[in-house]
Chains A and B, each alone.
Chain A
Amino acid sequence: MKFGKRLKQQVQETLPGWRDKFLSYKNLKKLVKLISSTPPLLNGSLEYVKAEAEFVYLLNNEIDKFNAFFIEQEEDFVIKHKELQQRIQRVIAMWGSNGSKPSETEYKDEMAKIRKDIVDFHGEMVLLVNYSNINYTGLAKILKKYDKRTGGLLRLPFIQKVLKQPFFTTELVSKLVKECENTIDSVFPVEENGEGKKERREAITVTGEGVFRNTVAALMTMQEIRSGSSTYGQFSLPPLNLPDSEIVQSVQLNSPIPIV
Chain B
Amino acid sequence: MEARPLSIQRSGVRQLNNLGVSGAMSSSLVPVFPTPLDETYPKLPDSQQISMEGEVRARPAAHATVVPSNSGAVGHIFSSSSGFSSDLQYSSVILSPYGKHPRNTPFISQSSTNSAALPIPQSSHSNMPQSTTSSRYTKESSSSWCPESLPGFIDFPTNTSLHNSQLESSSCSGVMSSEDFSKRNDWQDWADQLITDDDALATNWNELLDDNNMTDLEPKMAYQVSKTSAIIPVHQPQVQQQLPAPSGEIRNVVTPSSSANSGPAKPRMRWTPELHEAFVEAVNQLGGSERATPKGVLKLMKVEGLTIYHVKSHLQKYRTARYRPDCLEGSLEKRLTPLEEISSLDLKTGIEITEALRLQMEVQKRLHEQLEIQRNLQLRIEEQGRYLQMMFEKQKSGMDKLKASSPNAVNPSTPSSDAIQDFLAKNEQEGSQLDHGKKETDTVGANSALEGSSQELGNNNQKVPETEAPESCEPNVCETSLQPTKRSRTDK
Residues of A at under 8 Å CB distance from B? 15-17, 20-22, 24, 27-28, 30-31, 34-35, 37-38, 41, 45-47, 50-51, 53-54, 56-58, 60-65, 67-68, 71-76, 78-83, 87, 108, 112, 115-117, 119-120, 122-124, 126, 129-130, 133, 136-137, 140, 144, 147-148, 153, 155-156, 159-161, 163, 165-166, 168, 170, 172, 174, 176-177, 181, 184, 188-189, 191, 197, 200-201, 204-216, 218-219, 222, 226, 228-242, 244, 247-248, 250-251, 254, 257
Contact = CB atoms under 8 A, between A and B. Distances in A.
Contacts of A210: 333-334, 336-337, 340-341
Contact of B360 (A38, A119, A238, A239): A119
Interface stretch (B46-54, B56-64, B348-356): B348-356
Interface string B333-369: 1101111110011000010111111111111111110
Contact of A71 (B270, B366, B367): B270
A79 B465 contact: no
B84 A34 contact: yes
B196 interface: yes
B368 A60 contact: no
B261 A247 contact: no
A17 B367 contact: no
Interface in B475-492: 486, 489-492
B465 A234 contact: yes
Q: What are the 10 tightest A-B residue pairs by CB atom distance, in nearest-first order?
A: A208-B340, A210-B337, A38-B83, A34-B84, A27-B6, A153-B472, A64-B230, A57-B260, A24-B6, A65-B2
B194 A54 contact: yes
A135 B312 CA distance: 30
Nearest to B337: A210
B272 A51 contact: no
Interface in B208-266: 228-231, 258, 260-261, 263-265
Given A35-B84, A244-B366, A156 B329 contact: no
Given A38-B83, A234-B385, A234-B427, A116 B338 contact: yes
A34 B340 contact: no
B140 interface: yes
Contacts of B144: 41, 47
Given A24-B3, A147-B472, A211 B330 contact: yes
Nearest to B372: A174
A16 B339 contact: no
25 contacts: A53-B261, A58-B6, A58-B194, A60-B258, A61-B2, A61-B228, A63-B264, A64-B264, A71-B269, A71-B270, A76-B329, A80-B321, A83-B321, A166-B267, A181-B361, A189-B354, A197-B358, A208-B337, A209-B337, A219-B366, A222-B371, A231-B489, A232-B492, A238-B461, A241-B461
Contact of A126 (B2, B263, B371, B386): B371
Contacts of B461: 238, 241
Contacts of A174: 368, 372
Contacts of B370: 219, 222, 240, 242
A232 B489 contact: yes
B10 to A, nearest CB: 5
A209 B336 contact: yes
A56 B261 contact: yes
B160 interface: no
A21 B1 CA distance: 7
Contacts of A16: 332-333
A199 to B, nearest CB: 11
A225 to B, nearest CB: 10
Contact of B344 (A81, A117, A126, A208): A208
A24 B9 CA distance: 12
A47 B140 contact: yes
B136 interface: yes
B400 interface: no
Contacts of A206: 341, 344
Contacts, number: 335
Contacts of A159: 382
Contact of A54 (B195, B264, B336, B362): B195
A38 B322 CA distance: 56
Contacts of A57: 194, 197, 260
Contacts of A129: 368, 371-372, 375
Interface in B394-421: none
Contacts of B260: 53-54, 56-57, 60
Contacts of A30: 10
B207 interface: no
Interface stretch (B95-103, B120-128, B172-180, B273-281): B273-281
B359 A204 contact: yes
Given A163-B379, A232-B430, A233-B468, A71 B268 contact: yes
A12 to B, nearest CB: 14
B189 interface: no
B463 A238 contact: yes
Given A17-B330, A156-B389, A212 B363 contact: yes
